[in-house]
């Protein structure tokens, strides 16, 4: 079993739809959870950063972490064509020096006008 599982998609939705992206993980030591957006041939861009369980909202984006289920989600409301990209979940362990990220494979999202 891989440490982080993420459905690669592709996921295609109409403009304005609510998008739900998910990752599951197996390592209970993960404490920090991130979502990155990566446009084609570009480096990843940090979208959301959360610590431990709970929700975090930033504009149209909401990140949820459920540590008991080892499950994280990213919701995108009122999706726009500019949201079309690959979304990578990433996580890291606790404590100083635990900066190494473990990535999911990424989900390719297309928002159709």
Partner 1 sequence: GAVVSQHPSRVICKSGTSVKIECRSLDFQATTMFWYRQFPKQSLMLMATSNEGSKATYEQGVEKDKFLINHASLTLSTLTVTSAHPEDSSFYICSASQGIDEQYFGPGTRLTVT
> Interface residues with partner 1 (CB under 8 A)?
8, 32, 34, 36, 41-46, 49, 88, 92, 96, 98-101, 103-106
Identity of the residue, 83 or 104, whose beta carbon is nearer to partner 1 in the bound complex: 104
Identity of the residue, 14 or 59, whose beta carbon is nearer to partner 1 in the bound complex: 59
Minimum separation from the CB atom of position 49 to partner 1 (A): 6
Minimum separation from the CB atom of position 16 to partner 1 (A): 28
Identity of the residue, 45 or 78, whose beta carbon is nearer to partner 1 in the bound complex: 45
Minimum separation from the CB atom of position 85 to partner 1 (A): 14
**C-beta atoms surrounding 104 within 10 Å:** 25
Identity of the residue, 75 or 103, whose beta carbon is nearer to partner 1 in the bound complex: 103
| CA 6 and chain centroid, separation | 9
Distance, in Å, from the CA atom of 66 to the CA atom of 4, rounded to the nearest integer, reads 14
């Amino acid at each position: 079993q891989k440490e982080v599982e993420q459905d690669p998609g592709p996921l295609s939705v109409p403009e304005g739809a609510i998008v739900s992206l998910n990752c599951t993980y197996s390592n209970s030591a993960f404490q920090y959870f991130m979502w990155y957006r990566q446009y084609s041939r570009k480096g990843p861009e940090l979208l959301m950063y959360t610590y431990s369980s709970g929700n975090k909202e930033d504009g149209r984006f909401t990140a949820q972490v459920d540590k008991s289920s080892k499950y994280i989600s990213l919701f995108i409301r009122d999706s726009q064509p500019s949201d079309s990209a690959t979304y990578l979940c990433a996580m890291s362990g606790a404590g100083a020096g635990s900066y190494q990220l473990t990535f999911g494979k990424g989900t390719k999202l297309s928002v159709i006008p």
